[in-house]
């Protein structure tokens, strides 16, 4: 699969005029790499960010196997017995690598480094790396890069789905709190109305009693 050309193509705005796509900021918010043809929308620590494919994987080391790039649908723990028999935990980061993805025999647990941590200047999505046998000037998406891109897309999708779930839960909680506040306000108004009514009755009784005393005194004299 060939990538689109690096030179931006004109785009049409809502009013029908032509505008250059470079007016749209296209850079990774983590590494600042510019002219990235594809950026992922990711929710990271509650912040909406646009990240390149490499930074998505670099910032989510425990979400995939760094050898085969299989995305983990559910969080895995390196301390669980099942994970201990299926994965090796990197001693430098929180990544988990399938034992089946490692050469036999696998390295000891106490000294294992995942591929990104063991290779200086490791880059997950390196489009500029020369591919033997290809003479095309445009970068080509081979099988490994396809797996990397797919894994990053799954991580980004999972982060957005989680953000939607959190937002929905927050909205439901806000609705419940608003309903409770409304109920309390209504009860307070009802109590205030009762107290006001009682005070009016008591005030009317005192006025009536004073009038009766004045009448008795007048009759007496």
> Would you give the end-to-end CA distance of the chain in angstroms?
117
Contact 22, 8 (CB under 8 A): yes
pLDDT at 149: 92
pLDDT digits (tens, 9 = 90+) for 72-104: 987 766 555 545 568 889 999 989 999 899 887
Bond preceding residue 63 cis, omega within 30 of 0: no
Residues sharing a CB contact under 8 Å with residue 62, sequence separation 6 or more, in sequence order: 72, 75, 76, 94, 95, 96
Identify the pLDDT of residue 206.
63
More confident residue, 106 or 143: 143
Q: What are the tens digits of pLDDT across the range 129-142? A: 655 555 555 567 78
Residues 71-80 have pLDDT tens digits of 998 776 655 5
Hey, what long-range contacts does 207-216 have (CB within 8 A, 24 or more apart)?
none
pLDDT at 85: 64
> According to the model, what pLDDT value does residue 147 have?
93
pLDDT tens figures, 25-66: 578 888 887 755 678 889 888 888 889 899 999 999 999 999
Distance between CA atoms of residues 148 and 68, nearest Å: 9
Higher pLDDT, 220 or 41: 41
Tell me the whole-structure pTM to 2 decimals: 0.64
Q: What is the pLDDT of residue 12?
A: 37
């Amino acid at each position: 699969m060939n990538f689109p050309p690096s030179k931006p193509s004109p785009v049409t705005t809502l009013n029908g005029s032509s505008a250059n796509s470079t007016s749209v900021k296209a850079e990774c918010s983590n590494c600042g790499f510019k002219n990235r043809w594809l950026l992922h929308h990711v929710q990271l620590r509650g912040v909406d960010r646009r990240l390149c494919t490499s930074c998505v994987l670099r910032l989510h080391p425990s979400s995939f196997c760094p050898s085969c790039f299989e995305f983990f649908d559910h969080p895995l723990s390196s301390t669980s017995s099942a994970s201990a028999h299926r994965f090796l935990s990197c001693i430098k980061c929180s990544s988990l690598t399938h034992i089946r993805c490692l050469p036999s025999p696998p390295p000891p647990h106490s000294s294992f480094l995942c591929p990104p941590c063991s290779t200086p200047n490791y880059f997950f999505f390196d489009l500029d790396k020369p591919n033997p046998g290809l003479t095309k000037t445009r970068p080509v998406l081979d099988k490994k890069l396809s797996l990397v891109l797919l894994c990053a897309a799954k991580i980004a999708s999972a982060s957005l789905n989680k953000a939607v779930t959190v937002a929905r839960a927050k909205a439901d909680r806000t609705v419940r709190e608003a309903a409770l506040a409304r109920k309390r306000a209504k009860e307070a108004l009802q109590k205030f109305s009762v107290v006001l009514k009682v005070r009016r009755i008591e005030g009317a009784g005192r006025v009536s009693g004073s009038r009766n005393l004045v009448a008795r005194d007048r009759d007496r004299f």
